[in-house]
Amino acid sequence: MSQNKLNLTITKAHGDMWQVEMRDHHSNYTCVYEPSVKQAMQYALYWFEKADEREGANQIHGKAIKEMNELDKKAGILTGYSDGLD
């Protein structure tokens, strides 16, 4: 996905709230509700600025889960459909 591609949709939601749906250039998605279009745009700008930092954290998290599964498999904890993460 292009590093310049960001998706933003702001729609009127329930009451006085605005629904803000966003997808960044790493395909991360979020949906939040804000009380004004101005606040929706401010949040979107903040969220998009954090895209690379968030992707780095997601990569670390995924690697940690994979390593835990490998350790559990070696210990015989993973059986059938159980992931051993409870």
32-37: Cβ within 8 A, 24+ apart: 37/10
> Which residue bears the tokens 């940690």?
64
State phi, psi for 3 to the nearest 5 degrees: -70, -10
In three-state secondary structure terms, 50 is coil
What confidence score (pLDDT) does residue 1 get? Answer: 44
What confidence score (pLDDT) does residue 83 get? Answer: 58
Distance CA 2, CA 40 (A): 24
Task: Residue 54: give the domain boundaries.
Answer: 7-75
> Which residue bears the tokens 């998009």?
48
The answer to whether residue 31 is domain-embedded is yes
The answer to whether residue 13 is domain-embedded is yes
What confidence score (pLDDT) does residue 3 get? Answer: 64
What confidence score (pLDDT) does residue 84 get? Answer: 57
pLDDT for residue 82 is more than 80: no
pLDDT for residue 86 is more than 90: no
Residue 74: pLDDT band with limits 50, 70, 90: confident
The answer to whether residue 84 is domain-embedded is no
Number of domains the chain contains:
1
Over the stretch 46-61, which tens digit does the pLDDT of each residue have?
999 999 999 999 999 9
State the average pLDDT for the chain: 88
Q: What is the mean pLDDT of residues 14-24?
A: 95
The answer to whether residue 83 is domain-embedded is no
